[in-house]
Amino acid sequence: MKATSSIDRVIGAKVREKRIALGLNVVTLANAIGLSEIQLARIEAGSIRIEAKTMLELCKRLHVRPHYFFDGWEIALHKQHSPGKNDAVSNAHTLSGR
């Protein structure tokens, strides 16, 4: 099994966020995309990587395009690696390209 990275956690969080926003539970979405609830829960936790086929199924069921999962990931990654009182300054630097 390949190791996951920060981007896997960001993508997983976006899957969970969108699933909840649409009022879907883990079982319903997992069944709709052909995964077990455990597999979907692990994707949402960022502990396993999403296969391309699974991402396309998620896009269909969550009514998003693939870029949805990647939009703003640099900012989300930055927040994961530098929590604390300087978040506003760090985020401003990330947004401005510094």
Q: For residue 67, give the CATH number of its domain.
A: 1.10.260.40
Would residue 92 count as lying in a domain?
no
pTM for the complete prediction? Answer: 0.72
Q: For 68-81, what is the mean pLDDT?
A: 72
Q: Which domain holds residue 35?
A: 6-71
Q: For the CA atoms of the chain, what is the radius of gyration? A: 15
For residues 22 and 59, is the Cβ–Cβ distance under 8 A? Answer: no
Number of domains in the chain: 1
Structure tokens at 75: 């900012």
Q: For 7-21, what is the mean pLDDT?
A: 95
Given this model, what pLDDT does residue 92 score?
41
